[in-house]
Amino acid sequence: MAGARGAQEEEEIGKLLLSASQGDLAGLETILQGGLAVDSADYDGRTALHLAASEGHVPALKLLLKHKPNVNPVDRKGDTPLANAVEYGHTEICKILREHGGVVSSVPDYEIPISELEFKRPIGKGAFGEICVAKWRGTTVAAKTILAPLANNPQIVKEFIGELAMLAQLSHPNVVQFLGAVTKTHPLVMVTEYLPKGDLYAHMEKSGRLEAGTAVQFALDIARGMNYLHQHKPEAVVHRDLKPRNLLENEAGHLKVADFGLGKFIGPVTTDGGADLYEMTGETGSYRYMAPEVFLHKHYNETVDIFSFGIIVQEMFEGGPASRFQYPKEIAIARAKEGQRPPFTVNSYPKGMKQLLKECWDHNPEKRPTFANIITRLEEMQSAIGTQKHHSTDAVPSSNRTHGCSVL
Ligand SMILES: Nc1ncnc2c1ncn2[C@@H]1O[C@H](COP(=O)(O)OP(=O)(O)OP(=O)(O)O)[C@@H](O)[C@H]1O
């Protein structure tokens, strides 16, 4: 008897696993095109990915990965496909699986037992969850508890957990460091480094317009962090929700990008219940930074982050959003449907900056520059500002200067 699954499905799974173990590409394609889930497993929990990995069939493994399987399914022995590939010495397979977030242990390296977290005080609430300062192994960290509308949706939880192995690989000076997560117990918690100096939104609320030198430095910090994420292999990490509240300042006064890679779980694209999670959580701020193609529910890619970047940099020079009193959703409509863009009202933009921002928020995503190009142009502006400062210091009469410091 084939049990609850039915004899026909059993047979299909048998064919899928046999094709994987033999490296039979045509067989795999036929069965998967027929609608069988790529993650289907036998009673030992063995999936096609386990078998292709154990037998060392690289093309079969690549084909399976195109069907977006769970990269770390665990069989009855507790082994993942990567654990099998390591055991049988298939180096190429190990490399590919690791690039796709494969882990050797069924308890991933990033797993943090909830007992290790000592929650201290809440610091904020966003569309994903509530964020608290916590102590973990003697270090102060930020712990984000994932909100019920997301945590109760099994599909979202599966995708969220699938994303963590990738987050654990990331490390860059301008990217908030992921430290681990609680996934084996509820509620789900994501743990990152804690940045006590607050976010760019609070910084602009306090300081208003930023000096050109500071704005260019902050823009470079964001662009460097984002360039690292966009150049991630095998797939770019798209932020999708880049905004001043997601840019945190470290002790040295540099910005780091936070909340990346998770934007796909929220946003104006309606969830299965038809509800808009931004509206469900009362959070509509992100519409201010939203690329037209996202608002219009069109296909989009990583260039949506370039659009948001352009709006954020304009705000740094202007001291905040131009249309502070307009509903964020109305702004998104005006930008997406009427081509409205923020104005340039101050004269502190360095040479080349206005042109750069106009390119960043071009309606046509293909015309937007890459972050690599943006970095080069910002570095030129930064050295021009440095040179100007140098000249203006030179202009101070020498009698007013002592060891390079002006005495006024
Ligand atoms: N790692 C951190 N260190 C210090 N403060 C943080 C950290 N992460 C977030 N915060 C603070 O908590 C606030 C809320 O963060 P959270 O990411 O939960 O929401 P958000 O960014 O406002 O919204 P969303 O999650 O919808 O993007 C942030 O604006 C920031 O000031």
> What distance in Å separates the CA atoms of residue 140 and residue 134, rounded to the nearest whole number?
6
Confirm or reject: Cβ of 249 under 6 Å from ligand 1: no
Given a contact cutoff of 8 angstroms between Cβ atoms, the answer to whether 28 and 60 are in contact is yes
CA nearest 111: which of 175, 165, 166? 165
The alpha carbons of the chain give a radius of gyration, in whole angstroms, of 25
Confirm or reject: Cβ of 199 under 6 Å from ligand 1: yes
Confirm or reject: Cβ of 248 under 6 Å from ligand 1: yes
Residue 106, pLDDT above cutoff 80: no
Mean pLDDT of 28-53: 94
Confirm or reject: Cβ of 212 under 6 Å from ligand 1: no
Please state which of the ranges 48-57, 104-113, 142-151, 209-218 shows the lowest mean pLDDT: 104-113
pLDDT of residue 150: 78
> What distance in Å separates the CA atoms of residue 37 and residue 209, rounded to the nearest whole number?
53
Nearest-atom number in ligand 1 for the CA of 246 is 21
Distance (angstroms) between ligand 1 centre and the Cα of 227 equals 21
Is the backbone of residue 3 left (phi > 0), alpha (psi -120 to 50) or beta? left
ipTM of the complex: 0.95
Confidence of residue 141 (pLDDT cuts 50, 70, 90): very high
Extended beta strands in 186-230, E state: 189-193
Segment 227-248, tens digit of pLDDT: 999 999 878 899 989 999 999 9
Q: 323 Cβ partners below 8 Å, 6+ apart? A: 331, 342
Which residue's CA is minimally distant from atom 16 of ligand 1?
126
Two structure tokens written together for 172: 């860059």
Please state which of the ranges 173-187, 197-211, 298-312, 314-328 shows the lowest mean pLDDT: 314-328
Given a contact cutoff of 8 angstroms between Cβ atoms, the answer to whether 247 and 312 are in contact is yes
| Residue 241 bears catalytic tag | yes
Mean pLDDT of 98-122: 88
Ligand 1 mutation target, pool 147, 177, 259, most atoms within 8 A of CB: 259
Position with higher pLDDT, 223 vs 126: 223
Position with higher pLDDT, 24 vs 160: 24
Residue 101 has phi, psi (to 5 degrees) of: 90, 15
Segment 45-56, tens digit of pLDDT: 899 999 999 999
> What distance in Å separates the CA atoms of residue 401 and residue 395, rounded to the nearest whole number?
11
> What distance in Å separates the CA atoms of residue 332 and residue 294, rounded to the nearest whole number?
10
pLDDT of residue 1: 40
Which H or E run includes 81?
helix 81-87
| Residue tagged active-site, from 241, 259, 305, 362 | 241
Which residue's CA is minimally distant from atom 27 of ligand 1?
126
**Residue 202 burial (C-beta neighbours within 10 Å; 0-12, 13-18, 19+):** middle
List, in sequence order, every residue forming a beta bridge with 134; answer none if it has no partner.
119, 141
> What distance in Å separates the CA atoms of residue 147 and residue 265, rounded to the nearest whole number?
12
pLDDT of residue 182: 93
Mean pLDDT of 205-226: 96
pLDDT of residue 164: 85
Confirm or reject: Cβ of 72 under 6 Å from ligand 1: no
pLDDT of residue 304: 94
Confirm or reject: Cβ of 128 under 6 Å from ligand 1: yes
Distance (angstroms) between ligand 1 centre and the Cα of 30 equals 46
Distance (angstroms) between ligand 1 centre and the Cα of 289 equals 16
Q: Which of 100-104, 276-280, 371-375 has the highest mean pLDDT?
A: 371-375
Name the binding residues for ATP. 144
Q: 1 Cβ partners below 8 Å, 6+ apart? A: none
Segment 179-193, tens digit of pLDDT: 999 988 888 999 999
Extended beta strands in 303-369, E state: none
Given a contact cutoff of 8 angstroms between Cβ atoms, the answer to whether 318 and 345 are in contact is yes
Mean pLDDT of 68-72: 91
Residue 395, pLDDT above cutoff 50: no
pLDDT of residue 280: 34
CA nearest 74: which of 111, 100, 109, 45? 45
Segment 303-317, tens digit of pLDDT: 999 999 999 999 999
Residue 2, pLDDT above cutoff 50: no
Two structure tokens written together for 99: 């690039």
Segment 250-289, tens digit of pLDDT: 999 999 999 876 666 554 433 333 334 433 333 334 899 9
In this structure, the number of other CB atoms found within 10 A of the CB of residue 8 comes to: 9
DSSP string, 117-165: EEEEEEEEE-SSEEEEEEEETTEEEEEEEEPHHHHT-HHHHHHHHHHHH
Distance (angstroms) between ligand 1 centre and the Cα of 124 equals 6
Q: 359 Cβ partners below 8 Å, 6+ apart? A: 310, 367, 368, 369
pLDDT of residue 96: 95
pTM score: 0.74
> What distance in Å separates the CA atoms of residue 393 and residue 407, rounded to the nearest whole number?
12
Distance (angstroms) between ligand 1 centre and the Cα of 326 equals 23
Extended beta strands in 250-376, E state: 255-257
Q: Which of 67-81, 300-314, 388-402 has the highest mean pLDDT?
A: 300-314
Ligand 1 mutation target, pool 245, 277, 287, 305, most atoms within 8 A of CB: 245
